[in-house]
Amino acid sequence: MSLPEVSVCYLLRETPAGTEVLLGLKKTGLGKGNLVGAGGKFEPGETPEQATIREVFEEVGVVIRAAALTLIAEIDYPFTHHPQFSQKTWAYICWEWEGTPTESEELLPQWHLLADIPVDRMWDDAKQWLPTALGGEFVRATITFGEDGRTVVSTDFTAPTSPPAPPYSG
């Protein structure tokens, strides 16, 4: 059985202080209170890129193009004690967009220095893969959450660490 699919996008920008990444304080639903990238569940028939474009617009109000997306990770998340939360995540970065990130019902956007990502305020898995992926190394992994639904109990990084040729078009 295939896992439900979600996408997440990390907007990046250069500032005098250094490179910044946009994270959002999750205001509702699974992960409420965590800092996350903009993203969410696929709608029927959507590609990962289409879902990313739609979700980023819905959650932070900016417009991105498929050509501006770079795939940085493909991660399966089995929640062995809470299978309803299990998912496959496609993670992207984006350097180019139109508009200014604004708050939505889902997220309160906040810029953070890439060199100082607050992984302690994110999902438990973030510290294991996000700095590596944002640093330019493609990540493919299976990250399993434990009984509490919040703590990672195992991580399996799969080689090779280069992005796949997309089986889809945006």
Statement: residue 141 has pLDDT above 90: yes
Q: What percent of the chain has pLDDT over 90?
A: 80
The per-residue pLDDT for range 92-115, each reduced to its tens digit, is 999 999 999 999 999 999 999 999
pLDDT at 170: 38
* Residue 141: both structure tokens together: 């992994």
pLDDT at 113: 97
CA distance 13 to 15: 7
pTM: 0.90
Collapsing DSSP to helix, strand or coil, 20 comes out as strand
* Residue 82: both structure tokens together: 């809470």
Question: Under a CB-based contact definition with an 8 Å cutoff, are residues 79 and 154 in contact?
Answer: no
